[in-house]
């Protein structure tokens, strides 16, 4: 216990003093989380709406596949993206392997299942007859999409929370696809792994871990507060 306390005492000054290593990894982590979550929403939301609203053959099988993708091991996702990005791969011409842009791609892929799987579940949880009534009154596709996203916003925000949590805390794919270079594409998670390779760097690893926990608490806390506020407004409107 004394050893842990001593390491924590050495870690706290690194945070308070604005250590450049900790600060740099923090900003990279924030950028990766925001960009990956935004990209997952942009790419995954149309498919999620199709699964939630669609009435086409094979929809159930696609939903099972989307749910199964939630269990995708991040290390396999990282390897898959790296194969795509290496010379000769489908995306090899972009030449973004072992760069921060490659990390964006990998983290977006890992955040995508939460949008594609959880948003349709939120849509199907809406009151029976709501979608049918909207269609009966002649709502177009865009109007219907706007309606269900508004009514299912608590569940949609839950999907965004899960996607962002994945982007914030993931390590394996970052190390595989990125170069894990300090100040370039090293996130807080990958920096912790790097520091733990050296037992003399335990305070640095603890400082990085404490900042990561604080970052998760702040970003996820903001989204959770928004979710609760949306839920309260919805209950008030229905009462």
User: How high is the pLDDT of residue 133?
Assistant: 86
User: How high is the pLDDT of residue 97?
Assistant: 92
Rounded CA separation 85/133 (Å): 46
Rounded CA separation 77/71 (Å): 11
pLDDT, tens only, 65-124: 999 999 989 999 999 999 999 999 999 999 999 999 999 999 999 999 999 999 999 999
Q: Which helix (H) or strand (E) holds 8?
A: helix 2-16
Q: Is the dihedral of CA 6, 12, 18, 20 positive or negative?
A: positive
Domain boundaries along the sequence of the chain: 26-233
User: How high is the pLDDT of residue 27?
Assistant: 94
Rounded CA separation 61/208 (Å): 42
CATH number of 26-233: 1.10.3720.10
User: How high is the pLDDT of residue 1?
Assistant: 67
Q: What is the DSSP string of 39-67?
A: HHHHHHHHHHHHHHH---TTHHHHHHHHH
User: How high is the pLDDT of residue 29?
Assistant: 96
Q: Pick from 83, 107, 87: which is nearest to 32 by CA?
A: 107
Positions in the chain short of pLDDT 70: 1-3, 199-200, 231-239
């Amino acid at each position: 216990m004394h050893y842990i306390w001593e390491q924590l005492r050495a870690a706290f000054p690194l945070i308070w003093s604005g250590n450049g290593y900790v600060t740099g990894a923090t900003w990279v982590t924030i950028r990766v989380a925001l960009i990956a979550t935004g990209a997952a929403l942009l790419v995954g939301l149309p498919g999620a709406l199709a699964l939630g609203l669609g009435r086409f053959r094979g929809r159930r099988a696609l939903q099972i596949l989307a749910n199964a993708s939630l269990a995708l091991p991040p290390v396999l996702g990282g390897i898959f993206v790296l194969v795509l990005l290496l010379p000769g791969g489908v995306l090899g011409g972009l030449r973004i392997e072992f760069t921060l842009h490659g990390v964006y791609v990998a983290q977006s892929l890992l955040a995508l299942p939460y949008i594609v799987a959880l948003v349709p579940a939120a849509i199907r949880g809406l009151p029976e007859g709501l979608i049918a009534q909207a269609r009966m009154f002649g709502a177009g596709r865009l109007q219907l999409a706007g309606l269900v996203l508004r009514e299912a916003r608590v569940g949609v925000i839950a999907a965004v929370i899960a996607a962002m949590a994945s982007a914030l805390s993931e390590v394996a794919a970052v190390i595989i696809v990125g170069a894990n270079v300090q100040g370039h594409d090293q996130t807080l998670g990958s920096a912790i792994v790097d520091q733990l390779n050296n037992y003399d760097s335990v305070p640095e690893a603890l400082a990085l871990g404490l900042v990561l926990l604080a970052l998760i608490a702040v970003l996820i806390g903001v989204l959770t507060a928004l979710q609760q506020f949306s839920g309260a407004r919805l209950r008030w409107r229905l009462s």
